[in-house]
Chain A
Amino acid sequence: MRNAVIIDPRDSVAVAIEPVRQGEAVLYECEGREIHMTAQEDIAIYHKIAVRDIIPGEPVVKYGEHIGIASRPIQKGGHVHTHNLESRRESLETGTEEEKGI
């Protein structure tokens, strides 16, 4: 039974829609295909699961957009949260000085 969803095909994380235990199968659908993987740790409902290996410094993608930067290596099937994902204020890099209100 499906127990996770991926919002955008570009995403590197899926979201658990049921509580998932370490070692259990994670099943989600992406562009009409059913994808299986194994949870590397317990994942609470509505928390994020990596759908591929993510290296430190790599942007984590949800909604097809960057939601922050991986601060530690994240294994496929691992829990993605505050312990391995950090916010990065990207407007500081993309806005002009005036737009940043500086």
Chain B
Amino acid sequence: MTFSGYRRPDGRAGVRNKVLILPASACASDTARIVSQQIQGTVTFHNQQGCAQVAPDQQLTMDVLAGFAANPNIYGTVAVSLGCENCQMDLVSAAIRERTNKPFRQVIIQEAGGTSEAVKAACRYAGELAEEASLLRREEIPISELIIGTECGGSDPTSGLAANVVIGSLSDRITAAGGTAILSETTEFIGAEHILARRAATPQVRSRIFEIVHRYEKALRQVGEDVRNGNPSPGNKAGGITTLEEKSLGCIHKGGHTAINAVYDYAKQVSPHQGLVIMDTPGNDPSSVAAMAAGGAQIVVFSTGRGTPTGNPIVPVIKLTGNRITFEKMRENMDFDASPLIYGGSLSVLGDELLKLVSEVAGGRLTKSEALGYTEMAIARVCNYV
């Protein structure tokens, strides 16, 4: 099975062909927005971080910046920095170069001499890259080169009954085809970490699963919080969820049934052809989706019960719901109806249909969030600003 994608000089294959206007920090974000508004074929986002961060916090930001530029959906990057921020242009460009050899240009606002000159230079670079990008043609790429991110948000009882189960079936199909599926959201593993650990391919992976869960709990304890208290929430309990392990099991279904072959830290580059892997991300949707995009996922599959319009600047987000009322009410935001699984539909048929949709989206079909222009973005943090 193949999809129609764009081959990059670093060997990877993308499903979109955009030029990224990359703001190194909050202070470069509006300049990046102005450039992106001017030049067609570009994407950007508001970077809330990039300065006044402690080292491990800044590292999360750097990994997202470098990972976005390296994501195979991106043809090339024009990075814009202010000049004095912590995420210095030479650090950003070096981090990008470590991940990819794709076209790269840079503009530093303080060196260019203010907004007008910085915008002028960045627009010129962006226009050149956008024109080059437009000459590229799609080619047939084996589906084994896909890295699919999985995510859930705005969950309700149908998420564990249907939507996550159908995503699990997709994960099994992708891994069986030699591709990669990413299971994310460490918060959702808590209470079921022993079950995930049992599925680890090696003792190292098993230790890493316990490590990321306990690291997460420890970080929360440092601010006086215990995730196990009050979880499942009263709302979860009213909806029929009794225990934390039950809640977590509903979530980890998204990974399907195969062995877990690797555990990646937040936004680190994921190797292709790895089967099922875990990435350590928070439950917060946009920052988890961003981490998987930075890891190289070309597409994210997202389950929701209550419904959400969410999207991402560089990866198509395919949204499905197992709640037939939500599907009807928010049809304009939903790409796939997984509710037939609850009412007698076949999992293998739904899994095949979702795989077909993934292949179509890979080939250029717009998701609902792309058509509506949703590009929500957040980057995980470990600490307050300094």
A residues near B (Cβ < 8 Å) are 2, 5, 7, 15-17, 29, 44-48, 62-63, 65-68, 80-82, 85-91, 93-95, 98-101
Contacts and interface: CB of A to CB of B under 8 A. Distances in A.
22 contacts: A2-B344, A5-B161, A7-B161, A29-B344, A44-B240, A46-B161, A47-B240, A62-B246, A67-B242, A67-B246, A68-B246, A82-B237, A85-B243, A86-B243, A87-B191, A91-B194, A91-B197, A93-B194, A95-B194, A95-B210, A101-B210, A101-B217
Contact of A101 (B198, B214, B342): B214
Contacts of B198: 94
B330 interface: no
Q: Classify the secondary structure of A's interface with B.
A: loop
Contact of A100 (B206, B210, B237): B210
B54 interface: no
A98 B213 CA distance: 13
A90 B161 contact: no
A15 B161 contact: yes
- Counting from the closest, the 4 A-B pairs by CB-CB distance are A101-B214, A46-B157, A99-B210, A67-B246
Interface of B: 157-158, 160-161, 165, 191-195, 197-198, 206-207, 210-211, 213-215, 217-218, 228, 237, 239-240, 242-246, 249-250, 253, 342-344
Given A15-B240, A46-B157, A101-B210, 5 more contacts: A45-B157, A68-B243, A81-B240, A94-B194, A101-B218
Contacts, number: 92
B207 A99 contact: yes
A90 B197 contact: no
A99 B211 contact: yes
Contacts of B243: 67-68, 85-87
A17 B342 contact: yes
B161 A91 contact: no
Q: Which of A67, A98, A101 has the largest count of B CB atoms less than 10 A from its CB?
A: A67
Q: Which of A16, A81, A101 has the largest count of B CB atoms less than 10 A from its CB?
A: A101
Contacts of B237: 81-82
Q: Which of B191, B211, B244 has the largest count of A CB atoms less than 10 A from its CB?
A: B191
A16 B342 CA distance: 10
Given A62-B249, A91-B197, A99-B214, A7 B242 contact: no
A49 to B, nearest CB: 10
B311 to A, nearest CB: 28
B207 to A, nearest CB: 6
Contact of A65 (B206, B207, B245, B343): B245
Contacts of A80: 242
B240 A46 contact: yes
A31 to B, nearest CB: 12
Contacts of B253: 63
A46 B343 contact: no
Contacts of A93: 194
